[in-house]
Each structure stands twice: as structure tokens, then as C-alpha cells.
Amino acid sequence: MFVQKFTFNPVEVNTYLLWDETLECVIVDPGCSNSSEERELKDFIEENKLQPVRLLNTHGHFDHVMGNEFVERTWGLKSEIHQEDVFFIENASASSARFGISMENPPLPGRYIEEGELITFGSTKLQVIFVPGHAPGHVAFYCEDDKILIGGDILFRGSVGRTDLPRGNHEELIAGIKEKLMILDPQIKVYCGHGSETTIGAELEQNPFLR
Ligand SMILES: [Zn+2]
Ligand SMILES: [Zn+2]
């Protein structure tokens, strides 16, 4: 599986494109907030002859769903998200205004992501790992074959997701990270919702929140 990272919008969210040799791709957390960011995403997809087949959201915070409408309008893809986080999509405009950012509420999702399900595209399988706490419906996408985890805002390099936003829960987040992520192969590369990549092993050794 190939991974391309884009960093979009004033909150600097990481948007990921995942694809394989079939050239089918999925778009995870499109954060495009203006026409130049939309063009950057679209140009990359067209230049690499990729075919977007799914739109996945790790969770519903406004910075991660800002580009859902663009992706739906451009490639006809409805978003897929855990049901517990639809609340944020329905309130994205109000939440973003609190950060001084203006946006419409994104379109409602087309399907709910379930804990433990397998999400497929091309010849690739992504396992859904449910780790609430930063957001009540937060999921990570895990590709066992390629040892890659798309983690959203659950875990960062040397840190964890903030839990002071509505419906956050710090204890639940830490327990979920320890029980569901830290048991995975230490070599797994983690692509985070903000900032740079890390590995499960590096966080096991160094992350002060997981002591
Ligand atoms: Zn978030
Ligand atoms: Zn975020």
C-alpha cells in the first residue's frame, strides 16, 4: 500500500491518500479548506491516475471533515464514519466558528463504520480499530500486511489526543491506546492526524502519557 500525506487548513490536519497496485485509492480525513488545497489533492490523484473509491473519516472533528463536501461533489463518494461521531458533522459549522474558521456543515455520511470490520479497496484490507476518548466514535485504520496504522488524533509522536473537547474522555483514551494499539507489532508505522509519523515501538518506549 502507498501512502501520500497532505497537510491542509489552518488547523494543519493530515489528509491521507492510500492506494495499491490496482490504483484504487481511499481518501482519509480530507481537510481541504480552499480551492488551492482542493486542487492539490485533485492534481495528485489525476497525475497518478488514481481512482478514489471510498471516503473515510477517522472521527468527526471539523478539521478532519472540512473537505468531505469537495470529495463527495468531485468523486461522488459519501463519507464513512462511526455513528457516534455524526454529532460532530452536524455541528461542524458551530465548532469551527469557535476556532475562527468558517465552514458549512458537511453532507451527512453514507455509511457507518463498525468496530472490527474490514474495509477493502483494490487488493488492500484495512481493519477498523475503535479507540474512543479523543472523540466518542474515533477509529483507526490498520493495514496488517503493510504494518501501517492511520491513527487520526488518537496517538501522536510523544503525545496523545486532547480530551478537553466535547465528549472527550482521557481515561478511556489511554486505556484504549494501551489495550488496542500498544499490543500491535512495534514496527508498525503510525500516520497521525497532525504532525509527523511515529511507530508503535517508539511510543511504547518514549510516550510519557503511556507510562
Ligand atoms: Zn480531533
Ligand atoms: Zn485533528
Question: How far apart, in whole angstroms, are the C-alpha atoms of residue 128 and residue 109?
Answer: 17
Minimal CA–CA distance to 78: which of 50, 45, 107?
107
CA of residue 11 to ligand 2 center, whole Å? 7
pLDDT of residue 7: 98
Q: Mean pLDDT across the stretch 199-209?
A: 97
- Quick one: which H or E segment has residue 149? strand 148-152
CA of residue 66 to ligand 2 center, whole Å? 11
Question: Any bridge partners for residue 199, and if so which?
Answer: 189
Ligand nearest to the CA of 173: 1
Question: Model confidence at 62, in pLDDT bands (50, 70, 90)?
Answer: very high
CA of residue 46 to ligand 1 center, whole Å? 29
Residues with CB under 5 A from ligand 2 (ion): 63, 153, 193
Give the fold, CATH level 3, of 2-210. Answer: Metallo-beta-lactamase; Chain A (3.60.15)
In the chain, domain spans: 2-210
pLDDT tens, position by position, 11-30: 999 999 999 999 999 999 99
Q: Mean pLDDT across the stretch 91-118?
A: 97
Query: What percentage of the chain carries pLDDT values higher than 70?
Result: 100
CA of residue 60 to ligand 2 center, whole Å? 9
pLDDT of residue 95: 96
pLDDT of residue 137: 98
Question: Model confidence at 100, in pLDDT bands (50, 70, 90)?
Answer: very high
CA of residue 125 to ligand 1 center, whole Å? 24
CA–CA–CA angle 86, 89, 94 (5° rounding): 135
CA of residue 61 to ligand 1 center, whole Å? 5
